[in-house]
Structure 1
């Protein structure tokens, strides 16, 4: 792997993905940009080549289609220059669970979980063998908050967080850094696709601020980065409370509270 590894970014044609591309290009990383919109990818690639002098390849791909996904997986497995994966591609749909169509939900799950998992699986063995590299998975604070009422979307982002934490435990000792980034409401096109007007929402974070904060966490090698959270101690307390329960999961018999006759 080169001293400055290439970065493959999914969902790179706009929003968070495009901003990650700009920031990594400024750092001197060559890029592989993945998205469905070839015209926007080409425009971004041309600009970044001119501004930063880096090499930028584009892969037009719909990650919900098996053939397109396989092509990106192959690039991650075979291209020894790629040392960082930014799993950013994702989508949301509007409406409540009972209002959402089954096919729409299936596409949401395929993009937000299956594609992310398969791409991480494609690159992880090579990075572990090399003893270096990074996987950045873009989740959401919604994955911690069923109260926000985005049930399926939130479930996919809970998956992203759990997967990232598990991979961090597995791959960290092998030299591979895994980061979960959990944005809150951010000004991206995902809102329009979900049928919402982001301009009617409050406390909306700008994409530049979100990515810059996420990269501070990346440089610090945080396993979980939550840009809008002002008190890191709250996350630490949540983790401590969760870990305090672990010894109790191995009991042979049900807890006394389930064996008391009312």
Structure 2
């Protein structure tokens, strides 16, 4: 339900309301939260989707109070059919959603041979299946209105097998290819679909997956707010794929042209290392 402005800070002067609504999944942390803050500051009304209802409500009240916009919350686990169905229903309702940001996703801190069907299925349902379902739910209305956009958050990891033993990069390769393909098909209707492919970004993502990133150099990290700002600029330019920051643009170019043996040699990942017995 919409957050009430009198439950949070007093509204402050900001840009006029756009009359447009954005729906953001995985909205309470990291890149999703950065999208919500940026879009709220630009005057968009919001529908925020995440699993943690308490955290979701608090964030909605903060944004509504600060920017004087309407913020609705939709607690849902997008790795389940019921969770996807709830968001699909909202995407088909009024007021129409003008921008869908499919940000929710997970990684696993284990190589494939140590994984389980349940864990791998959950990753695919969230990273792939939910993106497919919600994009398909949003696009018919957008194409009918001749207006709208979808941003599917992918990853630089999707441009090559850069995490040996992990299926995360494979799921993100699908998101990027899917977004490029669908984006081309809806362009004639005035609708944009774009894959956002950030590199390492300071969020809760790795911590939630139990991945220790303490040895990564500081220069490699991106700020979520910067990632969002560049992605929205690329969306307005009509790009099908957005790779924020020059160093990751270079990395993607290298992954596309470098010999596969070289790519495999320099992108080894600890999660893929197993002993001879596979344990």
What TM-score, normalized to structure 2?
A: 0.80
Question: 2:226 pairs with 200, 209, 224, which one?
Answer: 209
Deviating more after overlay: 11-20 vs 219-228: 219-228
Compared CA separation, residues 231 and 201, structure 1 to 2 (3 A): closer
Aligned counterpart, 2:236 = 219
Aligned counterpart, 2:64 = 49
Question: Is this contact kept in 1: 2:46–2:71, CA < 8 A?
Answer: yes
Superposition map of 1:1-262 within 5 A: 4-149=19-164, 151-202=166-217, 203-230=220-247
Question: Is this contact kept in 2: 1:127–1:133, CA < 8 A?
Answer: yes
- Say which SS state the counterpart of residue 146 (structure 1) adopts: coil
Question: Is this contact kept in 2: 1:141–1:226, CA < 8 A?
Answer: yes
Question: Is this contact kept in 2: 1:19–1:208, CA < 8 A?
Answer: yes
Question: Is this contact kept in 1: 2:110–2:166, CA < 8 A?
Answer: no
d(CA) in 2 for partners of 1:229, 1:97: 32
Question: Is this contact kept in 2: 1:94–1:100, CA < 8 A?
Answer: no
Aligned counterpart, 1:248 = none
| Unaligned residue ranges in structure 2 (runs of 5+) | 1-16, 258-279
How far residue 235 of structure 1 moved from its aligned partner, in angstroms, is 6.6
- C-alpha RMSD over aligned residues: 2.2
How far residue 199 of structure 1 moved from its aligned partner, in angstroms, is 3.3
Deviating more after overlay: 138-147 vs 23-32: 138-147
Question: Is this contact kept in 1: 2:206–2:213, CA < 8 A?
Answer: yes
How far residue 149 of structure 1 moved from its aligned partner, in angstroms, is 2.2
Question: Is this contact kept in 2: 1:35–1:41, CA < 8 A?
Answer: yes
d(CA) in 1 for partners of 2:186, 2:28: 29
Compared CA separation, residues 198 and 10, structure 1 to 2 (3 A): same
d(CA) in 1 for partners of 2:57, 2:161: 38
Of structures 1 and 2, the one with the larger relative CO (CA 8 A, separation 6+) is 2
Corresponding residue pairs, total = 239
d(CA) in 2 for partners of 1:79, 1:17: 22
- Say which SS state the counterpart of residue 134 (structure 1) adopts: strand
Question: Is this contact kept in 2: 1:187–1:198, CA < 8 A?
Answer: no
What TM-score, normalized to structure 1?
A: 0.85
- Say which SS state the counterpart of residue 152 (structure 2) adopts: strand
Question: Is this contact kept in 1: 2:198–2:248, CA < 8 A?
Answer: no
